[in-house]
Structure 1
Amino acid sequence: MSEEKPQRVRIVLADIPRPSRTAATRTELTEQTHVGDALVRGLVRAQLALAVRLTAVVAIGLGGLPLLFAVAPVVADQRLFGVSLPWLLLGALAYPFLFAVGWAYVRLSTRAERDFTDLVERP
């Protein structure tokens, strides 16, 4: 009986299928490892920092107006189109200001999420 020797197979490192970087990063996220947790915390921190900055803009922009009117009564006594300036600023112009801040928040937070997605899906 002659036993056949198994044929030698040459293995080349490039021929071994390896998970791509994207798959590895997705695995880190789905399995909630330390790396995935750090990536998600980075995204949350970026969005929280954006929210805090824009909250400060609103607080200074709208909260500073009553302070301005108290400190400078001459400004509070001004009339524009027959309406006192404080009523005009706080009653009418506050809404476009808040809309612009909201638009900026959505735009910038979407950009942060897009950057996060690009980081995760980067080859």
Structure 2
Amino acid sequence: MSERHGGVERGARDRQSGRRVRIVLADHRPGPAPVRRGVEVAEQTAIGRELVRGLMRAQLAASLRIAAVAVLLFAPLPLLFAALPVVSSLAPWGVPLPWWVLAVLSYPALLGLARLHRRQAERIEREFADLLDRG
């Protein structure tokens, strides 16, 4: 009795010689050795150095993005105060507005940027650790 599977007849006999034909469906040779990323990083091999370099580049990119946001938020303030003396002359509760902005409002903004940066750095490190665990 023969069985058809994927267009190949299994258990069939060779029609010319009458002997049984063995059909192999999978190649059982071992594949290339897996890259053990954790070992590569620990032993500081060329692959490990590239993995760490990639981590450092990702961290640097995140830091530069946060720094750019901080510069965009705070660099224009002196120009604003110089260009619009009306803004500088405002003094709620007897304190000039530029002091309120720089001494009070800037800290929550910097704290928010710091928290955002910490979250990004932790995410990048978690992804790096997951990459090492997969290897």
Q: TM-score, normalised by structure 2?
A: 0.69
Counterparts of 1:13 and 1:54, CA distance in 2: 50
Q: Which runs of 5+ in 2 are unaligned?
A: 1-27
TM-superposed CA distance for 1:19, in Å, is 7.2
Counterparts of 1:107 and 1:73, CA distance in 2: 39
Counterparts of 1:19 and 1:26, CA distance in 2: 14
1:54 aligns to 2:69 (yes or no): no
Structure ranking higher in helix proportion: 1
Q: Percent identity?
A: 42
1:101 aligns to 2:84 (yes or no): no
1:38 aligns to 2:50 (yes or no): yes
**CA distances 1:61-108 after superposition (whole Å, capped 9, x unpaired):** 122211111122222223334432211100111111111111111111
> Tell me, what secondary structure is at the counterpart of 2:75?
helix
Larger Rg: 2
Counterparts of 1:58 and 1:64, CA distance in 2: 11
CA-based RMSD: 2.1
Paired residues in the alignment total 107
Match of 2:96 among 71, 78, 84: 84
TM-superposed CA distance for 1:113, in Å, is 0.3
Q: TM-score, normalised by structure 1?
A: 0.75
Higher relative contact order (CA 8 A, sep 6+): 1
